[in-house]
Structure 1
Amino acid sequence: MKTGADMKIAGKTVCVFVLLAITKVTRTVGNNRVSVTVGKSSVLACPPKSNMTMVTWKISPKAGGPCTLGYRADQNKTDRTNCSDSMNWKSRPDWDPALEIRQVGIAFEGNYTCEVVATEGNFHKMYHLTVLVPPRLTVYCDNHGNPVCKAAAGKPPARVSWVLESNSTPEEEGHDNGTVTVLRKFTAYSTNMTNTTCIVSHPAGTWSKSIACHLSGNNAIFKYAFIILCFLSVITFTAVIYYFKLHRDRLCHRTKPPEIAPTHSPQDDTMEVEPYTTYVQKENVIYNSVSDLTVGQNLPQGLSPAT
């Protein structure tokens, strides 16, 4: 029993010793977040240790593949793999192993780790680099006479507000490069406005700009009258087209009246026969008269034609 207990104690002691050794050999010196404005330079420190034998920067950006910068003291040699020219040692790595990033771009955003190997152990220091993109501020008046404040292509999205109270809601539009445009309108409570100021807040800075938008009553009346006139014109034009189309369809579908066959009545036959009958009768009367006269002339004297 005693031997078993001693073995358990010895096992625990060995485990503790191993953990302490690992802790001594590998140490992580912080995990920091760094923000830098696009286009500027940034320096990431890596504390130098006495009797350094090797220093390595391991970079994992969000865009593109990973890259490494290395230094070996025993060969007094540096090397780089897949790193852009904008990333390099700030000075001699045996004096100061800090990393310098010149003209930071959005693609440089990501994780940066410095690993130092020395006689007293291994050390790591990690950074998370965030790139800030200041928005472009513009203020203008829309077609309704309302002020509009626009913070274009900012990263992260900017906060847009008006000095005067406004119940409008900001609108956001994302872009492929990770920037965001924020637009916010100010709704005027009357047609006559005083100056109003837009304030844009961003981690890269704060900006403000004032504007005065004015839409007079006469212009508003003219605008509404023009809209009503256009609406009435459209209705009238549509009605005229519909009327002509309907009238044309009626003309096209109108049928030709049927031809009526002439009727033949007995009266027409009578009217056609009566002139001939009258003519024959007159001819007979004339013939009879002539016959009578001829007969009378041929009779002997003393005889006269019978009446």
Structure 2
Amino acid sequence: MKAGADMKIAVKTVCVFALLTITKVTRTVGNDRVTATVGNSSVLTCPPKSNITMVTWKISPKVGGPCTLGYRADQNKTDRTTCSDSMNWKFRPDWNPALEIRQVGIAHEGNYTCEVVAKEGNFHKTYHLAVLVPPRLALYCDGHGNPVCEAAAGKPAAQVSWVLESNSTPKEEGHDNGTVTVLSKFTAYSTNMTNTTCIVSHPAGNQSKSIACRPSKNSSFIPYVYIIPCFLSIIIFMAVIYYFKLQSDRLCHKTKPSETAPTHSPQDDTMEVEPYTTYVQKENVIYNSVSDLTVGQNLPPATVASNMNDSTTLERKRDPL
């Protein structure tokens, strides 16, 4: 029992000693933040140690998967896994194992760790690479003659200011790639200003531009653009109302009943014409009778006519008009 307990104590002592040795040998040189402007090159160095046995760069970018670059002194051999061609050794790794990133882009942003194995122990150093994107400065006059300053697609967001005081508030618009566009419109306290200067402050460098804007002549016509259509709308509306009112009055006059006129019965016309018709019919009958007598009895026409006149006279007396 005692021998077993002594063995456990000895094992624990060895483990603690080994941990202390590893802690003493493995040293963290530092964790630094570095910046690089997009399109430029960046060089990251390893802890300077002599008699290097092995060097490994472990890269963890924000975009894409991790990759490694390695060197073994005993085999004088380098290898790499899934690292792009833009990342490589700056010099010979057995002499200086620095890492160079050519044509830095936003995708290169991330953590870079160099691990060195030497006779003195194990050492590592970690960098956090931040990529700077300088904004594109644009200065122009808007439709009302106000200066507008635009710092487009900068990373981080730029600071926009004016040489003279302005009460404008910059507006920011973020993009998917992490860049930010800042837009600022100059509003002068005095209307006598003719020349204004925009200053863009950014970690990648400061920029400035000046411009002279004139109040737009078209701005004075803007109220008329709204007044004239309103005035025409009112006139058209009144014309439509007057037209419908006029049509309504005409319909009322057409539907109004006419004044009563004296009625005229068709029977009156019949009564007025009927005596004349009867008289003509009688005259015709008499004439026909005279003709028949003249032909049948060979009587002179004068005698028959005299008799007919007497008969006509008697008929008129009997049936006066």
| Smaller-chain TM-score bracket | 0.7 to 0.9
Equivalent position amino acid for 2:128 in 1: H
1:18 to 1:241, Cα distance in 2 relative to 1, 3 A: farther
Structure whose CA Rg is larger:
2
| Secondary structure, counterpart of 1:79 in structure 2 | strand
Q: CA RMSD in A?
A: 3.9
Structure 2 CA distance, aligned partners of 1:189 and 1:215? 14
Q: For the Cα contact (< 8 Å) 1:57–1:69, is it kept in 2?
A: yes
1:68 to 1:224, Cα distance in 2 relative to 1, 3 A: same
Equivalent position amino acid for 2:106 in 1: I
Alignment match, 1:32: 32
Equivalent position amino acid for 1:202 in 2: H
Structure 2 CA distance, aligned partners of 1:164 and 1:201? 16
| Secondary structure, counterpart of 2:265 in structure 1 | helix
1:294 to 1:40, Cα distance in 2 relative to 1, 3 A: closer
Alignment match, 1:195: 195
Residues 279-290 of structure 1: matches in 2 within 5 Å? 279-281=277-279
1:18 to 1:238, Cα distance in 2 relative to 1, 3 A: farther
Matching residue within 248, 265, 268 for 2:266: 268
Alignment match, 1:54: 54
Alignment match, 1:103: 103
Aligned-residue sequence identity (percent) comes to: 66
Structure 2 CA distance, aligned partners of 1:79 and 1:211? 55
Q: Deviations over 1:236-255 (max 9, x none)?
A: 686499679979x99xx99x
Equivalent position amino acid for 1:70 in 2: G
Structure 1 CA distance, aligned partners of 2:79 and 2:200? 44
1:51 to 1:221, Cα distance in 2 relative to 1, 3 A: closer
| Secondary structure, counterpart of 1:68 in structure 2 | strand
| Secondary structure, counterpart of 2:65 in structure 1 | coil
Structure 1: gaps of 5 or more residues: 1-5, 258-264, 298-307
**TM-score when normalising by structure 1:** 0.76
1:240 to 1:57, Cα distance in 2 relative to 1, 3 A: farther
Structure 1 CA distance, aligned partners of 2:90 and 2:36? 17
Residues 152-163 of structure 1: matches in 2 within 5 Å? 152-163=152-163
Alignment match, 1:148: 148
Structure 1 CA distance, aligned partners of 2:284 and 2:131? 140
Matching residue within 224, 227, 232 for 2:225: 227
Structure 2 CA distance, aligned partners of 1:137 and 1:156? 14
Q: Deviations over 1:146-190 (max 9, x none)?
A: 111111111100000112111211111112221111000011334
Structure 2 CA distance, aligned partners of 1:83 and 1:273? 129
Alignment match, 2:44: 44
Structure 2 CA distance, aligned partners of 1:10 and 1:246? 115
Matching residue within 276, 279, 282 for 1:278: 276
Equivalent position amino acid for 1:85 in 2: D
- How many Å apart are 1:269 and its aligned residue? 2.1
**TM-score when normalising by structure 2:** 0.73
Q: Deviations over 1:245-282 (max 9, x none)?
A: 979x99xx99x98xxxxxxx893123224312333246
Q: Per residue, is there more helix in 1 or in 2?
A: 2
